[in-house]
A and B are shown apart, each in its own frame.
Chain A
Amino acid sequence: MPKTQKKYQIKIPSQADNLVLIRDLVSRVAAQVGFDNDEASKIELAVDEACTNVIRHAYGNNSNEVIDVLIKIDAKKLTIIVSDKGKGFEPDHVAVPDLGESIRSGKKGGLGICLIKTLMDKVDFEIKPGLKNQVKMTKYLS
């Protein structure tokens, strides 16, 4: 298994305004590792979706909590772990997006997990509500 070469970590209040700061860090690190613009944008969007889920669902828009974003780099891949201590969810029970239902109901959101899974090469969840919920997203360098 490749040895981790570098780690970056940001612990930041769970405010929507901070998403831009997280995206900026992620896109810079992705570019530095060697991902092209398209791949870096996908990684950036996946992390944004994960952090948005934390703000909205785990913390219920409470801006006094903390989002923990850990970025690990090795020779083969970029791994980003988004953690929170809020309300958990059952990843296996997240419904497959029904665009028809979104049209009929006008419901906002609900596509985030699907998008994360599509944009990243590997996604793992570890859910311990109130203790630590973790979304681990991996993108391999080609």
Chain B
Amino acid sequence: MFQFETRILKLVFEKTTPNGFRIDLDISVDHTSGTDAGHPTTPIAIVTVGGYIEFSTSDEIDKVLDGLIKGGHYNIIVDLKDVDYISSRGWTIFLGKIKAIRDNQGDLKLANMNENVYEVYKVLEFFWIMRVYDSIEEAVTDFDDNVPPMPQ
């Protein structure tokens, strides 16, 4: 379970393969909440991911998202700014969390995809399920404005 009192929890997954190639997957979890003109805004977990989300690294994200959900954090933004690549297994990790999150009136939003990742998002027609945002600020605003999640 993640304790947000520490403000930032940073997990770094780094692995060197036997053939000397390094597979990086950096994950950090931040938390944003506060007040807007005296009104409390929605607490949101921002999961920042960098590197390659593929067969051998997707389980790390799976664990982080599971930890957030078990800890009762259902408003989640995944910042993909530094993600080079997401394989189909990586995409299904996100899909697999949607039900638990939305059953608890939360949402999982994706932000800052690069062009290649966005292309696959379109190919797999994930636009029917998850919204994508050009910035974290836009995604946060959607939460604060109570924009409903995409239908499942």
Whether B55 and A19, one on each chain, are in contact in the complex, defined by CB atoms closer than 8 angstroms, is yes
Q: Which stretch, B32-40, B41-49, B125-133, touches the partner chain A? A: B125-133
Which residues of chain B (40-76) have a CB below 8 Å from chain A? 52, 54-56, 58, 62
CA distance A37 to B114 in the complex (A): 12
CA distance A109 to B116 in the complex (A): 19
Whether A21 and B92, one on each chain, are in contact in the complex, defined by CB atoms closer than 8 angstroms, is no
Whether B99 and A104, one on each chain, are in contact in the complex, defined by CB atoms closer than 8 angstroms, is yes
Contacts of A115 in B (CB 8 A): 88, 120, 123-124
A84 lies within 8 A of chain B by Cβ: no
Whether A38 and B116, one on each chain, are in contact in the complex, defined by CB atoms closer than 8 angstroms, is yes
A72 lies within 8 A of chain B by Cβ: no
Whether B125 and A112, one on each chain, are in contact in the complex, defined by CB atoms closer than 8 angstroms, is no
Q: How many residues of A contact B (CB 8 A)?
A: 37
Q: A110: shortest Cβ distance to chain B, in Å? A: 7
Contacts of A107 in B (CB 8 A): 92, 96
Whether B152 and A100, one on each chain, are in contact in the complex, defined by CB atoms closer than 8 angstroms, is yes
Whether B88 and A99, one on each chain, are in contact in the complex, defined by CB atoms closer than 8 angstroms, is no
Residue-wise, chain A 97-130 has the 8 Å CB interface mask toward B (1 for contact) of 1011011111111111011001100000000000
Whether A49 and B88, one on each chain, are in contact in the complex, defined by CB atoms closer than 8 angstroms, is yes
CB closest chain-B residue, reference A13: B18
**Interface residues, chain B, CB within 8 Å of chain A?**
15, 17-19, 21, 23, 52, 54-56, 58, 62, 85, 87-89, 91-93, 95-99, 115-116, 119-120, 123-126, 128-129, 152
**Interface residues, chain A, CB within 8 Å of chain B?**
15-21, 24, 37-38, 41-42, 44-45, 48-49, 52, 55-56, 97, 99-100, 102-112, 114-115, 118-119
Could you show 15 A-B contacts with beta carbons less than 8 Å apart?
A16-B56, A17-B18, A42-B119, A45-B120, A48-B54, A48-B87, A97-B124, A99-B128, A99-B129, A103-B96, A110-B88, A111-B91, A115-B120, A119-B120, A119-B123
